[in-house]
Amino acid sequence: MYNLRYHIASLAGVFIALSLGLLLGTIVSERGTLDDQRDTMINKLEQDFVELSQRNNELASENEARADFVNAVVPVLVAGSLADKDVVVIANAGRSDGLAAVEQAITDAGGIPRVVTLVEPGLALQEQHVIDALSAFTFTGTDLMRSVAASLAVEWVGGAADRPVSDALSAAGVLRIDDLPAGTSVEALVCLAAWEQRPDTLAVSIARAVSDLGLPAAGAQAMSLDTGMALAAVDAGLSAVDQMGRPEGAYALAKVLSGEASGYFGTGTRAVAPFPRP
């Protein structure tokens, strides 16, 4: 009996050993297969990465070539559309983003940019020294801001040698008009003025007043900074461009200021198109 139990135990031990051997052999075999699959996958990923890098470099070169082409073509497309026209550009003190791009777009189209600078938000019409400076004038209506905006629009568009409201605000230190000589007859206007990403409401009112006189007026902002001017202009019933600093923006602004197009052009959610179609 003892020998039988010992024999059975020995057989069981053999079977267990065989089973463990088979299991370990399978694991080792599968491990080798997994290692091979891993190495194959790594090699494939490395190959894909090299191919993608090459393709990205090709695409970057193609995009750079397209950008160079567009930058060269846009000035040709807009040349003469603002021939010898004086275009007021309303900026605010410290404003740099978009200003150079707007001036360049006007110049490329043959126009003459005339930068007018608001030194204080809304020309500080509520400040006593400004109230005193305007005390000699009788403005119609109860909205002083709109009345001042309308007066400035008439003085600038009419090309008058005498600009009493403009001069009074300049003397008060809230408006710089050195770039807009007396007698200059403005034929279009673009507004950039914004303070801490908030559009200047008086500047928008001036643009609206110029539009009411039958001339093109628009709001503009740089692609790099959303000042809210584009939407403020649209809400005032004006055209707008929000891609200044890019050739699409330069093209759109030239077409808007020349009267060849109207609407909101750019990348904003309310834009009708990136740029006017030829």
- pLDDT by residue (tens digit) across 216-253? 999 999 998 899 999 999 999 999 999 999 999 999 99
Let me know if residue 19 belongs to a domain: yes
Q: Has residue 43 got a pLDDT over 90?
A: no
Domain that holds residue 191: 81-265
Angle at 184 between CA 256 and CA 162, to 5 degrees: 130
In the prediction, which pLDDT does 84 show?
93
- Indicate the residue among 78, 108, 130 that finishes a domain: 78
pLDDT band at 48 (very low <50, low <70, confident <90, very high): confident
Is 219:234 a contact under the CB 8 Å cutoff? yes
Let me know if residue 187 belongs to a domain: yes
Tokens of 123: 């020309």
SS3 273: strand
- Indicate the residue among 78, 110, 133 that finishes a domain: 78
Q: Has residue 51 got a pLDDT over 70?
A: yes
Helix (H) or strand (E) holding 35: helix 2-78
SS3 82: coil
Q: Is residue 164 domain-shared with residue 260, that is, in the same domain? A: yes
In the prediction, which pLDDT does 159 show?
85
Let me know if residue 55 belongs to a domain: yes
Classify residue 97 by burial, with Cβ atoms within 10 Å: 0-12, 13-18, 19+.
Answer: middle
Tokens of 49: 């990465």
Classify residue 274 by burial, with Cβ atoms within 10 Å: 0-12, 13-18, 19+.
Answer: middle
pLDDT digits 0-9 by tens, 202-217:
999 999 999 999 999 9
pLDDT band at 76 (very low <50, low <70, confident <90, very high): confident
What pTM value is reported for the model?
Answer: 0.78
Number of domains in the chain: 2
Tokens of 115: 């930068």
In the prediction, which pLDDT does 15 show?
61
